[in-house]
A and B are shown apart, each in its own frame.
Chain A
Amino acid sequence: MKPAATLIRCLLAVSSLWLLSGCLKDHLTKTYSILTPVYKDKKEVLAQLNAPQPLSVEQPGKIYLYNQYIFLNEIDKGVHVIDNSNPSHPVNIAFIAIPGNRDIAVKGHYLYADFNTDLLCIDISNPAHSSLIKIVPNVFPERFWNYGIASVPGKVIVSWERRDTTVMISRADIEGSSWCRECVVLETFSSTSAGKSAPGIGGSMARMAIVGDYLYAVDRHTLTPVSLANPDNPGLLAPVNAGWDIETIYPFEDKLFLGSMGGMFVFDLTDPQKPQNLSMFDHARACDPVVANNQHAFVTLREGTGCGPSKNQLLVLDVTHIEHPWLIKDYEMSNPHGLAIDGNLLFICDGNAGLKIFDASDVRELQQIGRIPLADTYDVIAWNKKLIVVAKNGIWQFDYTDPQHIQLLSSIVKQ
C-alpha cells in the first residue's frame, strides 16, 4: 500500500471523530437525598417526654456528666440517661424524647435542654419518669434550618423523610460540584452543654454552660444568661452581644471562653447577669472549641466544614493577662474537635486520628504520650482520672490513672 493512501485513510479516520462525536452522549448522574421535615404539635411532643424504655445509642451528640449520671444527647431526638455509678458497667436507664435537642446541662434535679428556639427545664428526680417544669421561650433565637426550613410556631420537627433522587448532570456540574444544592439538611446553630464548672461537667463543644446560679447559652451572635436562682423556674435575662459566629462556650472560674469562627472571646462574670467582654483573640476562620486554665487557653481549629478553609491546628494561648491573650505556639493536627485538660494532661479528639494525649507541662513543647485509636472522635470529658469520649458510634470510658497506660473501662456503642 502506498504511503499516500495510508495517510488519506488516517486523515479520514481523524476527521470522522469530529463528525461523529455529536452522536455520543455521556451518561452522568448524581444521586442525592431530599429531606423533608415532619412536624408535630409542640404540646403533643412535650406530653411524650418519657420514652417507654431506654433507647440504644444511634447518633451520639454532646455529653454532660453530673453526679453518677452521664447525659448523652441523641442528635435531634433527645437525651440518654446513663447510670455511671460503675464506669466499668454503665447502664442506659432512660431516654427523654426531645426532638431537635442538641445541648444539655444539669443542675440539681433539673435538666436544661434546648428545644428548637426554646429552653426546657425538666425535673429528672426520677430519670425514668421525668416531667416538664417550664419552657423558656426564645433562648436560641437564631436557631434555624437551612434552605428555607424555619421554626414553625407551635410546631416542632420530629423527623425527616428521606427520598433518594437521581438526576442527570453536566460536565460543568462535576467540575463545580460543591454544596448539595437541592438537599434540605438540618443545620445546627444552637445547642447546649457546659464546661468544667460547679454543678456538672460538659464537653468543650457545648453551647450552654452553668456557672453558679446562672446558665449561659450562646447563639451565633448572642450570649444569653438565664437565672437559675430558682432552678425549677429559670428566668431569661437580657442577652449580651457576644461577637459573631459563636460556636462553643467554656466556663473557667469567673470567666467564659467563647469559641467563634474568627477567634476566641473572653467574658468576665463579675456581674453574672451582665457578662462583660474582656478580650478577643483573632485567628483564621475555622471551627474552634476552646478550653482554658489559669495560664493557658487551648484552641483547636479544623477545616472541612463551612467555618472556613483553615488549617487543622491546636493553638496554645497565654491568658495570664486575660485582657491581652497572645499566641504561644501552634501545632499541626489531623482534624481536631473537642478537647479537655486535667492538670498537665491535655486530651484532644483528633477526628479519625483518635484521641491524643499530650503532656502539657511545657506548652512550648507539647509531648504526645498516647493515642487511643477511635473513629471520628469529637468530644471528651476528663474527670477524676476517668475519660468519657464521644465518637461517631458511641461513647467510651477510660481510666487514665497512668496516662502512659490508659485502660478501657467500658463502651456504649451503636448496635
Chain B
Amino acid sequence: MKIIAYFASILILFLLFCKAGRAQDAWHYRSRVAAGLLSGEAGRAFQAQWISGMQQKSNLLALGVGYDAYLYKSMPLFVSLNHYLPAAGPLYFTLKAGPQLILNRKKLYDATTYKLDKAWPAFYWSGGAGYEWKWKDAKGKSLLFEFSYSGKRLKQRLSSSGFCVDPPCQIQTETYLYNTQSWSFLMGMCF
C-alpha cells in the first residue's frame, strides 16, 4: 500500500507538471504501449509496459506501469527517462526505475508451512536503447523496438513454527533475497 501511495503522489505531481508544461506549449504528450520478452538465467518470460509522459525537444519524462513474469509475477511502477538522438528520433536511450508490486507472492514459498513475516519494498530497474520507426502517413504514430538490461530486487522474510504440535512454538525464519537480471526486448506502438 505504501508503494501505491508513493506512486500516486508521483503521479499527481507529474500531472501538475504536465499541465504546466502544456500551458507553456514547450512540451508535448507521448505515450508508448509495448510487449515483449525477458530472458535470463531463469528462462524467458512475458512482459508488457505502458508509459505516458511529456517530451520537450529530445527528452521524454514519463511514468510507466507494466507486467513482468520473470521468476515471479510483478507489476513495476516506474519513472522513465528518455533521450532521443537526434531530437526527433528515431534512436533513443531509456532509463526506468521504480517500485514493483508482487502479484503472486504465495508462489514464492509454501504457504501451508510458512507465512510472510516481513517484506521489504521491491524494486525494478531497466536501462537500454530503442528505435522508433515512423511509416508513411503515420500521423505521429510509430512502431518501437526497445532492447535493454533490466533487473528486479525482492527481499522477504518467512516464518514458520515448523512441525510443532504443542505451542507455543519456536519460530524459525528464512530470509530470501532475489536479485534478478535479464535482457529485455519490447515491441509496440508509440503515439
Contacts and interface: CB of A to CB of B under 8 A. Distances in A.
Contacts of B161: 304-305
Given A18-B39, A187-B163, A178 B110 contact: yes
Contacts of B108: 174-175, 177
Contacts of B24: none
Given A16-B183, A187-B163, A171 B175 contact: no
A174 B178 contact: yes
B165 A247 contact: yes
Contact of B164 (A3, A169, A171, A305): A305
Nearest to A247: B165
B90 interface: yes
A304 B185 CA distance: 41
B151 to A, nearest CB: 9
Interface in A156-207: 169, 171, 174-180, 183, 185-191, 205, 207
B177 interface: yes
Contact of A305 (B37, B39, B107, B165): B165
A6 B110 contact: no
A388 to B, nearest CB: 15
Contacts of A378: 167-168
Interface in B118-167: 131, 133, 135, 143, 145, 147, 158, 160-167
Main secondary structure of the interface of B (DSSP, over half): strand
Contacts of A318: none
A175 B110 CA distance: 8
B65 interface: no
A18 B165 CA distance: 49
B189 interface: no
Interface residues of A, number: 62
Contacts of A171: 41-42, 71
Contact of B41 (A10, A24, A31, A287): A24
B167 to A, nearest CB: 5
A186 B170 contact: yes
B30 interface: no
A146 interface: yes
B58 interface: no
Contacts of B180: 26-28
Nearest to B147: A13
A248 B165 CA distance: 9
A9 B183 contact: no
A47 interface: no
Contacts of A390: 168
A337 interface: yes
B145 A9 contact: yes
B40 interface: yes
Given A21-B40, A177-B110, A188-B166, A28 B177 contact: yes
B122 to A, nearest CB: 14
A118 B176 CA distance: 39
B174 interface: yes
A9 B187 CA distance: 12
B117 to A, nearest CB: 13
A60 B180 CA distance: 41
A82 B135 CA distance: 84
A337 B109 CA distance: 25
Given A26-B71, A180-B160, A207 B179 contact: no
A364 to B, nearest CB: 29
Contact of B113 (A75, A146, A306): A306
A307 B165 contact: yes
Contacts of A9: 131, 145
A186 B161 CA distance: 10
Contacts of A305: 161-165, 167, 169
A33 B161 CA distance: 14
Given A9-B131, A27-B177, A287 B165 contact: yes
A72 to B, nearest CB: 12
Interface of B: 37, 39-42, 44, 71, 90, 107-110, 112-115, 131, 133, 135, 143, 145, 147, 158, 160-170, 172-183, 185, 187
Q: What 9 A-B pairs have minimum CB-CB distances, sorted nearest first?
A: A306-B163, A27-B179, A178-B110, A17-B39, A21-B39, A188-B166, A31-B175, A26-B180, A24-B40
Given A3-B133, A75-B170, 8 more contacts: A17-B37, A17-B44, A26-B179, A61-B168, A187-B162, A304-B112, A306-B113, A337-B167
Interface of A: 1, 3, 6, 9-10, 13-14, 16-18, 20-21, 24-33, 59-61, 75, 102, 146, 169, 171, 174-180, 183, 185-191, 205, 207, 245, 247-248, 261, 287, 303-307, 309, 337, 378, 390, 392
28 contacts: A1-B90, A6-B133, A6-B143, A13-B185, A20-B39, A21-B183, A26-B40, A26-B178, A26-B180, A27-B179, A28-B177, A29-B176, A30-B174, A33-B172, A169-B176, A171-B71, A174-B176, A177-B114, A178-B112, A178-B113, A185-B162, A185-B170, A186-B170, A261-B165, A306-B113, A306-B165, A307-B165, A390-B168
